[in-house]
Each structure stands twice: as C-alpha cells, then as structure tokens.
C-alpha cells in the first residue's frame, strides 16, 4: 500500500464502488482519487475488501469489510470505521464519492460525532431522485446537503435536480464532468470497410434502464435491405436476470444477427469499439433511476463512433446532437429507427460525427474536476 505524500493535505475518499468493480461510478471514484493525488493531496481511498490493487495507483487503499452494496450491513460496517477514525478525520477532507457513504453520513450526522475539516460529495443523478422521494431519507439528505462544503455533479441536468428537490444546496454546487479513463487506449481511425455488413454496438450492463431491448426492436423495424448483413453486438454483464432472458429471447426471434459478448475486460474494449460502425446506448428513466451522464458515450466517441442515444437525463451533455451523434426522444420509437437508418446509409455522416466525437471526448479532464472539487478557496458555483 503506497503511503501518501508527506506534508500534503489529507483527503479521505469513501466509496462502496471501486476497482475491480466495473461501472461509471467506480471509474469516477478511481479517477478522482488519481487526480487529487497528482495534485498533491494525501489521498487515502476507503473501498470494499477486494485484495486487488493497481501498481500505478498514486494513493493507498484501505480495504474494508464491505460487500460493496448499499444494504444495512455495509452501512453499519462503514459507520463503525468512521467512528474509529473520527479523530483523524477531523484533520482531513472527507469525500463521499457515491450514494453508499452518503447514506451512511446522513445517519451519522444525527449523532454529531463526525466533524471533518472539510466535507465534499458527488451526486451522480439517480440518488437525487431516490433521496427526494424516500420518506425517511429526504430530510436527512436535505440537512447534509445544506452543511457540506461543496457538492459536485457531472452534468447541469443533475445540478438542476438538486436545485429542484433540495434548494438549500443550490449555493454548494460545482460541475465536475467525467472524462476518459487514464488507461483508455484510443485506436487510430480505421479505414472504412467497403461493402462489409454494418455493426451496431452497445456497451452497458444488461438492465432495463440501459435500453438494449429498445435498440434491438428499433433495428428490427429497419427496411429489409438494411437488416440484411446487419449485426447487433451487446457487451455487458447481466445485472437483471429477467431482463437478460427477455433480451436473449427477443434476439432469438428477431431475424437479426445478435452477438452477446458478455463482460469484456477494459483492455479489450478498444478492439470491440474498433469493430463497430455505430454505437447505441438508448437509456431510459426506470423508476427513479436515470442516466446522469454516461462515461461510455465518451469512450465510443473517442474511438470515432457516431452515437445513437435517447435524450434523457444528462445524456445530452455526453452526446452532442448532430455533432457527435443523434439524440432521439425516448417515447418516439419510429424516430429511433430513423436515426439508425440515417447513420447506416450515410457513410459521410458517420465519418463527420465520428471525427467530431474524437475531439469532443477529450475536452474534459480529471485534473480540472479535482481542482474544482478539492481546490482551496471559494469555488465557482453553478
């Protein structure tokens, strides 16, 4: 475990989602820890027990006896660790990187035992709705949000949700957009495959919110000439077993060539992107769960893929309509099919959106996000 820099500002990052767990929040927590450490903060990450580290981490990880969920068992165990270390935390900046530790802090604040030198947190989207509509969490969340030093969001959409449901927190908000992973390998532009069948790719866990079934149904509505030779590739873990079964059943009777790639390791994803012509992730709002941003859209754009996506949540801040992709209202299935038809038949459009996407994906940085959230002095609030 690497020791923090001597004499630097202590920063304790708390998260229930971290490597080797996959997903946008786990990536966000890791990259913010990297950026803060490189900026000179003495970062220590508290994460679930995994026994796995990366040799290039510029920070130590304190592996806790957590399963990495948001259940009561994990919350109680994290609360015990916080109480044990409360004296040390009084001299630290504490960063609540995702909903798990935020819920723990909401409960702990009632006892008044935790008084860090500075308290900051990030809200990703769905948890704002869940807290706002939960009978027992709304008031503790409002109290916490009014007392923290800074609240970051990845998108203006999520910031607007906070203002709407927790207006007392409005003056604490700062924007920390996501960026490409530090180890993300960008593949040089490929030579267009003349005469080859087209490939539409989705990367995302198999869950109703990710919309793979809607994408498949939209592709089925394409004219017969476009369906011939078309392949739909789906990469991602099965997060919802019933949904995964329904998706596979629909694929079997669709008449399309559908390939399920499973959980593709990060190191292999660039090759998967390189083998596609169009990227599609047509997320929807599922209950109180919504796409707050979507780092995977940046990955697809960085590889030069034009994107088809639903205009929901914060997606419009990850995909620029008619610049890096095509955004479609989620309640207009015919428009979704038309967007695919347009991209599959117009090579010049695919090339233009893909080229702009490569530039678009590099416009943000983790270093800038860390400076905004952890930097000294007053922040420029949203």
pLDDT tens-digit series, residues 305-357:
999 999 999 999 999 999 999 999 999 999 999 999 999 999 999 999 999 99
pLDDT digits (tens, 9 = 90+) for 81-98: 999 999 999 999 999 999
Domain ranges of the chain: 9-179+364-374, 199-361
Closest CA to 214 of 285, 287, 148: 285
Backbone phi and psi for residue 281, each to the nearest 5 degrees, phi listed first? -140, 95
* Interval 151-159 mean pLDDT: 97
Per-residue pLDDT tens for 177-200?
999 999 888 777 665 555 568 999
- Name the CATH superfamily housing domain 9-179+364-374: Glycogen Phosphorylase B; (3.40.50.2000)
CB 202 within 8 A of CB 236: yes
Residue 12: closest CA among 27, 32, 208, 300: 32
| Residue 105 backbone zone (phi > 0: left; psi -120 to 50: alpha; other: beta) | alpha
Residues 37-48: b if buried by 16+ CB within 10 A, e if exposed: bebebbbbbbbb
pLDDT at 380: 56
Predicted local confidence at residue 295, as pLDDT: 95
Q: How confident is the model at residue 7 (pLDDT cuts 50, 70, 90)?
A: very low
Phi, psi (deg, nearest 5) at residue 300 = -65, -45
Q: What is the pLDDT of residue 105?
A: 96
CA neighbours within 13 Å on the CB side: how many for 292? 28
Give the least confident one: 33-37, 226-230, 325-329, 375-379: 375-379
Identical fold at 9-179+364-374 and 199-361?
A: yes
Q: The domain 199-361: what is its CATH number?
A: 3.40.50.2000
Q: What is the pLDDT of residue 189?
A: 64
Distance CA 373, CA 152 (A): 7
Residue 51 buriedness (CB in 10 A; 0-12 / 13-18 / 19+): exposed
Instruction: Please give the backbone phi and psi of residue 170, each rounded to the nearest 5 degrees, phi first.
Output: -55, -40
Task: Answer whether 73's CB lies under 8 Å from 67's CB.
Answer: yes
Neighbours of 87 (CB within 10 A): 8
Confidence class for position 110, pLDDT limits 50, 70, 90: confident
Residue 327, classed as helix, strand or coil, is: strand
Look-up of token digits 């949000």: 145
Greatest distance between any 2 Cα atoms in the chain = 68
- Give the pTM: 0.92
Residue 179 dihedral angles phi and psi, to the nearest 5°: -145, 180
CB atoms inside a 10 Å sphere around CB 213? 18
Residue whose C-alpha is closest to residue 27's, from 159, 162, 208, 183 = 183
| Percentage of the residues of the chain whose pLDDT score is greater than 70 | 94
Q: Which two tokens stand for residue 152?
A: 């970051």
Q: Given the structure tokens 């080859």, which residue do they identify? A: 196
Note the pLDDT of residue 5.
47
Alpha carbons 94 and 116: distance in angstroms, whole number: 6
Q: For 209-259, write each residue's pLDDT tens digit.
A: 999 999 999 999 999 999 998 999 999 999 999 999 999 999 999 999 999
Helices (H), the chain: 24-38, 72-84, 86-89, 99-108, 126-132, 138-147, 156-165, 212-220, 224-227, 241-253, 269-274, 295-302, 333-345, 347-361, 366-374
40: left (phi over 0), alpha (psi -120 to 50) or beta: left
Answer yes or no: is pLDDT of 379 > 80: no
pLDDT, position 73: 84
Q: Which two tokens stand for residue 337?
A: 């099919």
**Residue 15 near residue 47 (C-beta atoms within 8 A):** yes
Q: Which residue has the tokens 């090339």?
A: 351
Q: 196, 311 in Cβ contact below 8 A?
A: no
Average pLDDT of the residues in 285-299: 94
């Amino acid at each position: 475990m690497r020791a923090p820099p001597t004499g630097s500002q202590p920063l304790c990052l708390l998260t229930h989602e971290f490597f080797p767990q996959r997903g946008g929040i786990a990536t966000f927590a890791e990259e913010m820890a990297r950026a803060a450490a490189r900026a000179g903060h003495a970062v220590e990450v508290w994460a679930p027990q995994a026994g796995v580290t990366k040799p290039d981490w510029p920070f130590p990880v304190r592996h806790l006896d957590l399963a990495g969920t948001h259940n009561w068992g994990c919350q109680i165990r994290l609360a015990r660790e916080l109480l044990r270390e409360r004296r040390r935390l009084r001299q630290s900046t504490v960063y609540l990187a995702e909903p798990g530790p935020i819920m723990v802090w909401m409960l702990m604040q009632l006892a008044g035992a935790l008084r860090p030198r500075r308290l900051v947190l990030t809200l990703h989207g769905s948890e704002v709705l869940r807290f706002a509509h939960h009978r027992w969490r709304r008031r503790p969340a409002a109290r916490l949000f009014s007392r923290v030093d800074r609240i970051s969001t990845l998108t203006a959409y999520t910031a607007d949700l906070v203002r709407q449901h927790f207006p007392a927190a409005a003056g604490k908000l700062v924007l920390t957009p996501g960026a490409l992973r530090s180890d993300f390998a960008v593949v040089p532009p490929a030579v267009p495959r003349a005469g080859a069948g087209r490939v539409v790719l989705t990367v995302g866990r198999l869950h109703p919110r990710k919309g793979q079934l809607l994408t498949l149904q939209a592709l089925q509505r394409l004219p017969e000439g476009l369906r011939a030779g078309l392949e739909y590739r789906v990469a991602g873990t099965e997060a919802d077993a019933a949904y995964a079964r329904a998706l596979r059943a629909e694929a079997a009777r669709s008449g399309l060539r559908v390939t399920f790639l499973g959980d593709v390791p990060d190191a292999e994803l660039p090759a998967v992107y390189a083998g596609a012509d169009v990227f599609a992730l047509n997320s929807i709002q599922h209950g109180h769960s919504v796409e707050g941003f979507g780092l995977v859209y940046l990955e697809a754009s960085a590889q030069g893929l034009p994107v088809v996506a639903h205009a929901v949540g914060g997606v419009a801040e990850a995909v620029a309509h008619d610049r890096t992709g095509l955004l479609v209202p989620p309640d207009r299935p015919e428009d979704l099919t038309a967007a695919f038809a347009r991209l599959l038949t117009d090579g010049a459009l695919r090339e233009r959106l893909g080229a702009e996407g490569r530039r678009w994906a590099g416009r943000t940085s983790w270093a800038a996000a860390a400076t905004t959230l952890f930097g000294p002095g007053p922040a420029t609030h949203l």
